[in-house]
Chain A
């Protein structure tokens, strides 16, 4: 329990998963939070980011989901229903580089990793050899 006494990092006393209570939502908060690791419900209060006491076990339903959670060995938990949803720019959220070959109007754009042999000088070869 590295974060036994932390305020915004709520480490679950049952399963030791670290629940991140993001400052946007939780800076001033009083209510029930569901642990993303074991679904335990914790009654918890924060004033100006300072917790008003250790988490106390409560009953469902919860008020808020944590912004993010992970285990002590950094295995992330991002399953919908366990943590709050991420703001998304598209319907699918990846958070990693997306290989793109065509722009939204269907023309070629160089949005995917290349190999040395795919280049002429600094320019992708496809724009020289025809697409």
Chain B
């Protein structure tokens, strides 16, 4: 849907279209379907007085959230290119390599731009001076063309190459700049802030025992989201559902089971 064509590094950097490492389109499509169903419930109770048919596809879910692709193409026929770990529309807003992995730094507008270079300048004043005095980089939107981004990030990487993710983060956060290392999943699972807030929890599931999971991201003062079990075995709730909702008795259930219907 233009997503895979746009993910990964450009040809000039040796890249190809790339799929997302997780089942992104399904997750996004599912979220929109849930939103549509919830909204239909709301409308039913509020004024409509009846249900309705809601349809949602994963592809169109991704199309909805793919930024400015359609507007851009509609205006001048542009086809969104891949841009690796940089951003077509914001500079600085990217992930670049550092001594022990990759580091994300973000700060497109002026206030953050100069703070970032101040952090760089503490170790490498010549880099800060070189960027801050460049007349081509004075206006936010002037920094967006490709070659300006090459200049910016190459200069920044000459600084990050000497620093670990943690050191980069520390220097940049001293200047209140949003930054963070690319975390591998073990690092995510062990990150103190996430543990403290309960982003990850151990679900003691009656079927599957203790399983580490990502907790519900619905944090509400009055109605917190919660995960009660991670899944049930096939047909585990047959007895309850068919008896309670369908009114089947023991004999009919047995017959259905025998016929392979349930």
Contacts and interface: CB of A to CB of B under 8 A. Distances in A.
Q: Tell me if chains A and B make direct contact, with any CB pair below 8 A.
A: yes
Interface of A: 2-3, 6-9, 20-25, 27, 48-50, 67-68, 70, 74, 76, 78, 83-90, 93, 95-98, 100, 103-105, 109, 111
Contact of B150 (A49, A68, A109): A68
A90 B151 contact: no
A22 B150 contact: yes
Given A87-B146, A89-B78, A104-B75, A25 B158 contact: no
B161 A83 contact: no
Contacts of B96: 23
A45 to B, nearest CB: 14
B142 to A, nearest CB: 8
B157 A8 contact: yes
B147 A83 contact: yes
B78 A49 contact: no
Nearest to B155: A9
B72 A89 contact: yes
A23 B154 contact: yes
Given A49-B97, A68-B147, A89 B79 contact: yes
A25 B15 CA distance: 10
Given A67-B154, A87-B81, A22 B76 contact: no
Given A22-B13, A95-B144, A74 B134 contact: yes
Secondary structure dominating the interface of A: loop
Given A86-B146, A89-B80, A109-B75, A22 B134 contact: no
Contacts of A111: 75-76
A2 to B, nearest CB: 5
Contacts of B80: 89
Contact of A22 (B74, B99, B154): B154
16 contacts: A7-B161, A8-B158, A8-B161, A9-B155, A23-B97, A24-B15, A50-B161, A68-B151, A70-B151, A74-B134, A86-B147, A87-B10, A89-B72, A90-B78, A97-B141, A111-B75
Given A8-B157, A23-B97, A111-B76, 18 more contacts: A3-B126, A20-B151, A20-B155, A24-B13, A24-B15, A48-B161, A68-B147, A68-B150, A68-B154, A74-B133, A78-B147, A83-B147, A86-B147, A89-B78, A90-B79, A95-B145, A95-B146, A104-B75
